[in-house]
Every structure is written in structure tokens, then in C-alpha cells.
Amino acid sequence: MEVIIKKDYDDVCAEAAGIIQEAWRRENALVLGFATGATPLGLYRKLIELYNQGGIDFASIRAFNLDEYVGLEESHPQSFACYMDHHLFSQVNILRENIFRLSGRPADIEAHCRSYERKIKDSGGIDLQILGIGKNGHIAFNEPGSSLSSRTRLKILTPETVEANRPFFQDESEVPRFCLTMGIGTILETRSVILLASGKEKAEIIARAVEGPVTASVPASALQLHPSARFIVDEAAAAALARKDYYLWAFENRDRARDLLKVVRLKT
């Protein structure tokens, strides 16, 4: 697990965009997992900038959305499908057939979730998963208490999440109580993860996720079991980390560590 501490939100987004660009340079047929929420918005703006400058091409990229509210049509402005279209997909050259998403209104929820898992496998698996983190520690919509081996499934939103969403819906009957979400087990199988967090209101949960025990009560702590997870946080979100100085030190020295690995590889 790597903790990358950047000065501010803009630098967090720039670092994440650089990681995605680098991954795409290594493997053009990249399979990316996308998250919604306020945090990744700056990253998506940077990806659009990179695309407009010719720094990345989405024609060969396949995309999987993390989650979706149950009951909403894709065209509903608060659906995650609509969010991704609006904030990224409509502004780059991704092919429609390469966008995979959970539907908010499937005829058979369990069959739909199984089929989503199959589509991820058929694509060869997700190379790089983008994540945010909820103040309660959720990743995707795996609310506290979610099984650490959960798969894509129906999840009941917590009352806090329902409340947080309420202002975005004009009609009370539309406020979602359920969602479909990739599971923690599904996320742990991705090849790499970048989790972005910014602001002091995320400081406590970042410290619990990174340095606390692995527990279903803090779903993001499961990433301690992931073979390649990077937490990219700004100074405000890093404020409660006990080993902050070491993370900064390790980041400063990581090129030297990479050089050492290259030398070993050349010799063997």
C-alpha cells in the first residue's frame, strides 16, 4: 500500500491523472473502473484536458462504473450513468460499446449483478480502479458492515447516505434507498486501485482506513489487503495519519527504489 500526500486537491487530481496516463501508455487497451462523487471531478477535468492535448486516447479504453442507484433511469440527472456521461464520457472519444454500467432498473437484479461480474471477467479484469471514500469509510456503496468478500449486489443505503442525497432530488419519492454496487471482493480483485481523498472532513476516516485494523466497519480498510493500492490524499486529508513523515519520505525515495529494481531485473 502506498500513501501519496500532495499539497492540495489540484495536485491530488494531477497525480491521479498522471497515473492513469502512465497506465494507458503501458497498455492502450486499458480497463478502467470509474467512481462518482465530488472527489473525482477534478481528475475527470484533467483527463479531458489531457485528451484534448493528445496525451491520452480513450478509443481503446474500456470503462466499468462502480455503482448505480436502484430505481433511476439512466437518463435521470442524478444517475451515475448520467454523471459519467456528463463529466467525462461525452467529452472524450470513448466508444459507447466499451462503457459498462450497472442499470438502476434491471428486470432481474441478481442476474444483472452476476452478468456484470462476468463482463468484468470477460474484459480480462479491471486494470485500474478509481475510488473515493465516504466519511463513513464506504468504498463504492459498500457501506460499513459490508462483507469484505462481497460481490456486485443490491445494497441498502445507510440513513446518512440517504440524507446526504436528499437535496439532489426534487421529488421525495425519488430519493434512493437502494443501490447496486461492485463488492469489496470485486474491488480487491482489480489489478490496482487509486483512492482519492481531499479535505479535513476525510482526515479521520483516511487514518482509520490506512492505519487502523482491517474491518468491515471501515470498508476502505480492506484495501490494506490489496496488492497494489494507492491512497492519494491532500495535506488536509492526511492530517490524522500517524506515519505521515514516512509516507512522504517513501514517496521522495521511490524513484531510487525503482532504479534498484531495474538493476536487479537487468542482472537476473
Q: Please select the residue that binds ligand PGA; options are 70, 81, 133, 233, rule is CB under 6 A.
A: 133
Under the binding rule (CB under 6 A), the answer on residue 33 touching ligand PGA is: no
Is the Cβ of residue 98 or residue 138 nearer to ligand PGA in the bound state? 138
Binding mask 174-213 for ligand PGA (x = CB under 6 A): ----------------------------------------
CB of 39 to ligand PGA, least distance (A): 3
Residue 65 bridge partners (DSSP): 34
Is the Cβ of residue 98 or residue 146 nearer to ligand PGA in the bound state? 146
Q: Which residue has the cell 482506513?
A: 209
Distant-in-sequence, close-in-space partners of 50: CB < 8 Å, separation ≥ 6: 17, 21, 56
Interacting positions 135-164 with ligand PGA (CB under 6 A): 138
Under the binding rule (CB under 6 A), the answer on residue 71 touching ligand PGA is: no
44, 83, 46: which is closest to 165 by C-alpha? 83
Contact 145, 217 (CB under 8 A): yes
Under the binding rule (CB under 6 A), the answer on residue 39 touching ligand PGA is: yes
Q: In which order are the strands placed within the sheet that holds 2-6?
A: 2-6, 229-234, 192-197, 128-131, 31-34, 62-65, 99-100
Tell me the number of residues near ligand PGA by CB under 6 A. 7
Under the binding rule (CB under 6 A), the answer on residue 134 touching ligand PGA is: yes
Is the Cβ of residue 92 or residue 164 nearer to ligand PGA in the bound state? 164
Contact 149, 186 (CB under 8 A): no
Under the binding rule (CB under 6 A), the answer on residue 129 touching ligand PGA is: no
What is the 8-class DSSP label of residue 158?
A: P
Under the binding rule (CB under 6 A), the answer on residue 55 touching ligand PGA is: no
Under the binding rule (CB under 6 A), the answer on residue 221 touching ligand PGA is: no
Residue 164 neighbours by CB distance under 10 Å: 14
CB of 143 to ligand PGA, least distance (A): 10
Type of residue at 100: F
Is the Cβ of residue 133 or residue 179 nearer to ligand PGA in the bound state? 133
Under the binding rule (CB under 6 A), the answer on residue 168 touching ligand PGA is: no
218, 157, 227, 198: which is closest to 1 by C-alpha? 227
Return the range that interacts with ligand PGA (CB under 6 A); candidates 104-112, 117-125, 129-137, 149-157. 129-137
Residue 5 bridge partners (DSSP): 233
Contact 143, 216 (CB under 8 A): no
C-alpha cell at 201: 472532513
Residue 230 bridge partners (DSSP): 2, 194
Under the binding rule (CB under 6 A), the answer on residue 132 touching ligand PGA is: yes
Under the binding rule (CB under 6 A), the answer on residue 219 touching ligand PGA is: no
Residues designated as active site: 67, 136, 138, 143
Q: Give me the residues that bind ligand PGA (CB under 6 A), please.
A: 37-39, 132-134, 138
